[in-house]
Chains A and B, each alone.
Chain A
């Protein structure tokens, strides 16, 4: 799988390169800024792009803008955005085009190599990888919210769904059977009034949109 990285911090860029190479990815290019990223994407047509939020020259949110621009230019190019902090606002912007293949994770998660690589693959395959912190920001709700009617286990399942995991992965994480997951998902969708037909990224979007409503 071919990857382009945009990360200006040499230490992190080389670390990522090392890690991805060790996991069988092919890192085509490491860009230090947004124009460099767009040029590298044009040149290499990667399967997935990994972008740091803060890039030169102003070290603000260039990475988010570059990611959105790359997705506009290359028809929903899968993008995984990494940051030292997460804001639900940025997640909303990244998800706003309604297409799959988007990830938004804290840089802390890179150290969980297995999960991180899984997230990269999921995004490359058109799925979603939302940081648990984004989800917990979304789950701050007032008392009469239907979400508060969920059981603790159902909330766990809901959070994992929102992070972008499929039923198999949720089952593995929570050490429960596929059937149990299926039952929880059904209950959640019933309690929240969501359509049970949604699959894959559509399901993630439905859940995120639900959590995001009224804001």
Chain B
């Protein structure tokens, strides 16, 4: 019984709250109140523009406001009449004699004047009990119905929720890509200034030590020589690793300069066309660089090509990378891991990858990468 009373009071409070919330623009409050009453999490709505024409959420809120305007105040009034008349009945049935006799207190909404204990003790308890019953069993379902209607009208549809989710994921992914790129640059710079420099310094000293050890008998010279060779291998390996993390030429010359450098070291003559690429996230530059590196390497290795063409174009927030050669074609993605690895790197950035290589050529690799910055 106690829970029922609590439920009744909460329902009454909820329904009375319909009055101060009849003003427009309080949809968030409606959602919160309704969700609290129903014990469910409040739906989260990301509003883009409060424009009725473009934002379905704004349209729904306007419609709900109208509905609430029509049903909210009557429900609040009903609650007042129902709950308010319970104490009124108690007052009338016990204190009827204190009212002036020409203006007696009434029961049943003015229908029955209370002018004696007989009426007071029959109609009074009847009204109190009937209204209590109504409040206890009637108000909670009414309030819940209102709250459910409210949530149904103010929650985003599954399609909208999906669209919102996609939007959020796209944004966070772009942020992650940006952070990833910044991290790549930092690692390259740290290795360059730190480990690489230290290895060079060690190699220098070992080199000097070797020179002064030439006339020393015993194994020391041999050990120093081995150490020197080891350091040289470490430097070469580290250089290779850095190239796969973030090619230093990108840090030094940007994507356009790096393309020129790639063309210069390619085995076949390469023409590079780059438009105005603007600012690109480092991760996007890196993947574009590896796409061209791998494509040109394949061109040199297998394609029997005499020339290749690299084209970089940026349209809005998409970077298109196209590498075309005049070779024999017939490149197969399933052979070798290079192309498959490229595709993975491209897809990780939400890009698209297309390889066309009919027998007889030409081989064209086209990659598009989103690069919203």
Contacts and interface: CB of A to CB of B under 8 A. Distances in A.
A69 interface: no
A15 B201 contact: yes
A187 B197 CA distance: 42
Contacts of B266: 140, 215
B206 interface: yes
B38 interface: no
Given A15-B205, A140-B265, A215-B264, A54 B200 contact: no
Given A15-B200, A88-B264, A89-B264, A111 B228 contact: yes
B270 interface: yes
Contacts of B269: 214-215
B161 interface: no
Interface stretch (B23-31, B105-113, B242-250): B242-250
Contacts of B3: none
Interface in B203-220: 203-208, 210-211
Contacts of B205: 15
B193, B197, B253, most chain A CB atoms within 10 A: B197
Nearest to A90: B261
Nearest to B240: A85
B267 A12 contact: no
A87 B261 contact: yes
Contacts of A9: 193, 197
A53 to B, nearest CB: 7
Nearest to B238: A84
Contacts, number: 102
A84 B265 contact: no
B232 interface: yes
B23 to A, nearest CB: 57
Nearest to A59: B189
A196 to B, nearest CB: 27
Interface residues of B, number: 43
B21 interface: no
A92 B257 CA distance: 13
Nearest to A145: B267
B263 interface: yes
Nearest to B249: A87
B249, B252, B268, B306, most chain A CB atoms within 10 A: B252
Nearest to A7: B197
Nearest to B253: A61
Interface residues of A, number: 36
A185 interface: no
Interface in A94-129: 106-108, 110-114, 116
Contact of B260 (A15, A53, A85, A89): A89
A175 interface: no
Interface in B161-197: 189, 192-193, 196-197
Interface in A37-95: 53-54, 59-61, 84-85, 87-90, 92
Contacts of B232: 108, 111
A16 interface: yes
Contacts of A88: 261, 264-265
A215 B271 CA distance: 8
B204 A16 contact: yes
Contact of A85 (B197, B207, B248): B248
B69 interface: no
A11 B205 CA distance: 11
B231 interface: yes
A84 B253 CA distance: 15
A112 B228 CA distance: 9
B286 interface: no
A12 B253 contact: no
A111 B231 contact: yes
A59 B204 CA distance: 23
A163 B364 CA distance: 36
B201, B261, B269, B305, most chain A CB atoms within 10 A: B201
B134 to A, nearest CB: 79
Given A9-B193, A22-B208, A137-B264, 4 more contacts: A18-B208, A60-B251, A87-B264, A142-B268
- Closest 4 pairs between A and B when the two form their complex, measured CB to CB: A111-B203, A89-B261, A111-B207, A113-B207
Interface of B: 189, 192-193, 196-198, 200-201, 203-208, 210-211, 228, 231-232, 235-236, 239, 242-243, 248-249, 251-253, 257, 260-261, 263-270, 300, 305-306
Interface of A: 9, 11-12, 15-16, 18-19, 22, 53-54, 59-61, 84-85, 87-90, 92, 106-108, 110-114, 116, 137-138, 140-142, 214-215
22 contacts: A11-B197, A16-B204, A18-B204, A19-B207, A19-B208, A61-B253, A84-B239, A88-B261, A88-B265, A89-B249, A89-B260, A90-B261, A92-B264, A110-B200, A110-B203, A111-B204, A111-B231, A113-B208, A113-B210, A138-B265, A140-B265, A142-B306
